[in-house]
Amino acid sequence: MTTFQISQLAARTGVPTSTLRFYEKAGLLTADRTSGGYRIFDEEAVERLGFIGAAKLLGLPLEEIAQLLGVWETGACTDVRAELRPRVAARVVEAESRIVELEVFASSLRSALEHLDALPDRAGRCDPKCGFLGASGRRTPVMVDLAPRRREETEAERWRTVPVSCSLTGDDQQARTDRWQEALAGAVREPIPDGMRLVLPVDRTAVVAELAGREQQCCPFFDFRLHVDGPVVRMEVRAPADGAGLLAELFGPAA
């Protein structure tokens, strides 16, 4: 049987010796000891490290990897698959939530760039009168709820106190409406307090997130919340009572 000292195992697998010692201490890796106290690993350690490395690439924490290793040791591939699949599915949801949040953030950055490019040259100091600082301070962030998370009441309800007005006019309003209608084609609408919930295929998440981000720039009285749920994304839109008509006109009457 082939055995390795810790330095040899590190060279064989590319895993640093410090990491190997940590894995051993955490119970992910086992080693025998020579009479002189040196660690000795067998070929199974190479396979375990391959399994650990693959699981880490999937974003699994060491606690879950340790649980999976216990199943892997039985040699039943079906059991490993059954344990692994829901964990990977959960990471998919997390990854999609980050994509949506980044899309919203990118939309805000693009709007900021457009506003900066439109500002006139001023010789004086930058202050709220230049428009940018004042405008950014009035914006309400898009609420992206893709996992349960606690928020302060003032943050969650800020949209209720924003004046019901839209900064778009004419052709810009029509173009905005057309984009929403295209993105929401076939959506299932459900009434909710103060608004409606729209259920769409999950592949439209990025599109509706970007549109929601842009909508906040012209109509900050709308409150958007997105929840990725497996094959669908659920977008909730709310507005104060004075904005109910605009909400229904833009997003369609609730079914």
Residue 159 inside a domain? The answer is yes
**CA–CA distance, 100 with 207 (Å, rounded to integer):** 9
Q: Which amino acid is at 188?
A: V
Q: What's the domain count of the chain?
A: 2
CATH number of the CATH domain containing 68: 1.10.1660.10
| In a domain? residue 154 | yes
- 52 shares its domain with 140: no
Spell out the long-range contacts of 152-159 with Cβ–Cβ below 8 A and sequence spacing 24 or more: 159/220, 159/221, 159/222, 159/223, 159/238, 159/239, 159/240
Predicted local distance difference test score (pLDDT) of residue 8: 92
Task: Specify if 65 maps to a domain.
Answer: yes
Residue 137 has pLDDT above 60, yes or no: no
Give the mean model confidence (pLDDT) for residues 156-165.
Answer: 75
Judged against a pLDDT cut of 70, whether residue 156 lies above it is answered with no
Predicted pLDDT at 119: 76
102 pLDDT higher than 90: no
Q: Are residues 42 and 168 in the same domain?
A: no
pLDDT tens digits, 11-47: 999 999 999 999 998 888 988 988 888 899 999 999 9
- Tell me what pLDDT residue 135 has: 44
- Alpha-carbon torsion, ordered 211, 133, 117, 210, to 10 deg: -10
Query: How confident is the model at residue 147, as a pLDDT?
Result: 38
- Residues 232 and 182 grouped into a single domain: yes
Q: At what angle do helices 170-183 and 205-218 cross, to 10 degrees?
A: 150
pLDDT at 122 over 80: no
Could you tell me if 160 and 45 lie in one domain? no
46 and 144 together in one domain: no
- 42-100: per-residue pLDDT in tens? 999 999 999 999 999 888 888 889 989 989 888 788 888 888 888 888 888 778 777 87
Question: What is the pLDDT at residue 134?
Answer: 44
- Mean pLDDT, to the nearest integer, of 228-243? 88
Same domain, 224 and 170: yes
Q: 142 vs 100, 148, 156, CA distance in Å?
A: 11, 16, 10
Residues 69 and 133 in one domain: no
Taking all residues of the chain, what is their mean pLDDT, rounded to a whole number? Answer: 81
The CA distance from 128 to 150, in Å, is 32
Residue 128 has a pLDDT of 64
Write out the residue range of the structural domain in which residue 49 sits: 3-75
- 3-state percent helix, strand, coil for the chain, nearest multiple of 5: 55, 15, 30
Please tell me the predicted confidence (pLDDT) of residue 148.
Answer: 40
